[in-house]
Structure 1
Amino acid sequence: MIPIPLLVALFLAFAVDGPSAPPPEGADLIEAVLWVVAGGLLISGLSFAVGLGTAWRVRRRGYATSRMRRDLVIGSRLLNVGTMAVYGWMIFDRGWPGVVLDAWGWRGSILVDDLLIVAPFLLMQLCYWWGTYYGERAIQGLSIARSGRATARHLYLKERQSLALILPIVSLFVIRNDVIGRLWPRWETNSWSEPVDLAVLGVGILLISPLFVRLAWPTRSLPDGPLRRRLETIARRSGFRFTDILVWDTDHLMVNACVTGVLPQFRYVLLSDALIDALSPLEIAAVFGHEAGHVAHRHLPFFLFFFVGCLTFLTLTSPVLNGLESWIATVPGLDLASLPTLRGVVEGVLALACVGVVFWLVFGEISRRFERQADVFGCKAVSCGLTDCPPHFDFEDDEPEAPGPPIQALCPAGIQIFSEALASVAHQNGIDATARSWRHGSIASRIAFLQKLIDAPEREVLFQNRIRRFRFGLSALLVASLAAAGAAHWLGLLG
Structure 2
Amino acid sequence: MQLYYFLAVILSLSLGSLPESNQSFAQAVGFTGLVILAWWVLCFLAVRLVAGLIDKGEVDATVGYDWFERQTECFRWFSLGLILLCLGGFGLGRNLDRLPLIQHSLALQSMVLLVPAIAMMAGLWAGESRFAARMGVARRGWWATLTSTFSALRSSVGWLIAPIIGFLAIIDLVSLTAVGEQIPNWAAWVALGVVMVAGIPILVRRVFPTRPIDDATKQWIQSIVTAGGIRRCKIVMWDTNQQTHNAMIAGLLGRFRVLLLSDRLVRDLAREELAMVILHEVAHAKRFHVPLRITALVPAWLLGAGLERGLMQDAWATWATDWAGTLGSVLSLVATVLILRWVSYRSEFDADSVACRLAPAVSRRCERVPATEPDARRQLASALLRVTEGCAAARKPTWLHPGIADRINAFSPPVA
**TM-score in same-fold range (> 0.5):** yes
Report the alpha carbon displacement of residue 318 of structure 1 after superposing the two structures with TM. 1.3
Deviation at 1:452, TM superposition (A): 1.1
- The equivalent of 2:19 in structure 1 is 19
Q: How does 1:120-199 map to 2 (within 5 A)?
A: 120-134=116-130, 142=136, 146=140, 148=142, 150-161=144-155, 162-177=157-172, 179-180=174-175, 182-183=177-178
Q: CA deviation at 1:371?
A: 0.9
Moved more, 430-439 or 245-254: 430-439
Shift of 1:433: 5.9
SS in 2 for 1:96: coil
Task: State whether structure 2 residue 210 is matched by structure 1 residue 215.
Answer: no
Q: Deviations over 1:17-44 (max 9, x none)?
A: 221335x5xxx34322222223323543
Q: Could you tell which deviates more after superposition, 257-266 or 40-49?
A: 40-49
> In structure 1, what is the equivalent of residue 404 of structure 2?
443
Q: Which residue pairs with 2:273 in the alignment?
A: 283
CA-based RMSD: 4.0
SS in 2 for 1:107: coil
Quickly say closer, same or farther: Cα 1:212–1:96, change in 2 above 3 A.
same
Q: Are the aligned partners of 1:244 and 1:269 in contact in 2 as well (CA < 8 Å)? A: yes
Q: Deviations over 1:14-73 (max 9, x none)?
A: 685221335x5xxx34322222223323543454455555545655322314x963x655
Q: Which residue of 2 aligns with 1:224?
A: 215
Report the 3-state secondary structure (helix = DSSP H, G, I; strand = E; otherwise coil) of the residue aligned with 1:123.
helix
Evaluate the alpha carbon distance shift between residue 148 and residue 382 of structure 1 in structure 2; reply closer, same or farther with a 3 A threshold: farther
Aligned to 1:61, which of 49, 59, 62?
A: 59
Quick one: structure 1 residues 117 and 135, their matched pair in 2 at CA, closer, same or farther if it must change by over 3 Å? Answer: same
CA distance in 2, matches of 1:324, 1:280: 65
Please list, as runs of the form range in 1=range in 2, the aligned pairs for 1:355-366 lying within 5 A after superposition: 355-366=332-343
Task: Give the alignment of 1:46-445 within 5 angstroms.
Answer: 46-48=42-44, 51-56=47-52, 59=55, 60-65=58-63, 69=66, 75-97=71-93, 100-103=96-99, 105-108=101-104, 111-134=107-130, 142=136, 146=140, 148=142, 150-161=144-155, 162-177=157-172, 179-180=174-175, 182-183=177-178, 201=192, 204-205=195-196, 207-225=198-216, 227-322=217-312, 348=326, 350=327, 353-383=330-360, 396-397=366-367, 411-427=373-389, 430-432=391-393, 434-445=395-406
> Structure 1 residues 79, 263: CA separation in 2 closer, same or farther (over 3 Å shift)?
farther
Q: CA deviation at 1:251?
A: 1.5
Task: State how far apart, in whole Å, the 1-side matches of 2:11 and 2:395 are.
Answer: 33
Q: 1:301: Cα distance to partner?
A: 0.4
Measured at CA, do residues 185 and 259 of structure 1 come closer, stay the same or move farther in structure 2, by a change above 3 Å?
A: closer
| Counterpart contact for 2:97–2:103, Cα < 8 Å | yes
Q: Which amino acid aligns with 2:243?
A: L
The alignment-based identity, stated in percent, is 21
Contact in 1 for aligned 2:133/2:139 (Cα 8 Å): no
Shift of 1:11: 5.8
Q: Is the 8 A contact 1:257 1:291 kept in 2?
A: yes
Amino acid at match of 1:377: V
Query: Matched residues in 2 for 1:326 and 1:49: separation?
Result: 49
Counterpart-to-counterpart distance in 1, 2:361 and 2:180: 60
Q: Deviations over 1:114-140 (max 9, x none)?
A: 4234223222221122224455678xx
Q: Return the index of the structure with the highest Cα Rg.
A: 1
- Deviations 1:74-109, CA, capped at 9 Å, x for gaps: 544443333333323333333324555534643335
Alpha carbons of structure 1 residues 181 and 53: separation in structure 2 relative to 1, 3 Å:
farther
Could you give the per-residue CA deviations for residues 391-414 of structure 1, whole angstroms, max 9, x where no partner exists?
Answer: xx775449xxxxx9xx9x962111
The amino acid across from 2:289 in the alignment is: H
Query: Match of 1:155, as an amino acid?
Result: T
* 104-113 vs 362-371, greater mean Cα deviation: 104-113
* Aligned CA distance change for structure 1 residues 153 and 32 (closer, same or farther; 3 Å): closer
Deviation track 1:331-358 (CA, whole Å, cap 9, x = no partner) reads: xxxxxxxx99xx65x964x556535533
Kept in 2, the 8 Å contact 1:286–1:382? The answer is yes
Q: Structure 1 residues 281 and 58, CA, compared in 2 at 3 Å: closer, same or farther? A: farther
Q: CA deviation at 1:257?
A: 0.8
Residue by residue over 1:402-440, the C-alpha shift from the partner in whole angstroms, topping out at 9 and shown as x without a partner, is: xx9xx9x96211111111100011016x34465222211
- Counterparts of 2:389 and 2:42 in 1: how far apart (Å)? 28
Whole-angstrom CA distance in 1 between matches of 2:246 and 2:169: 32
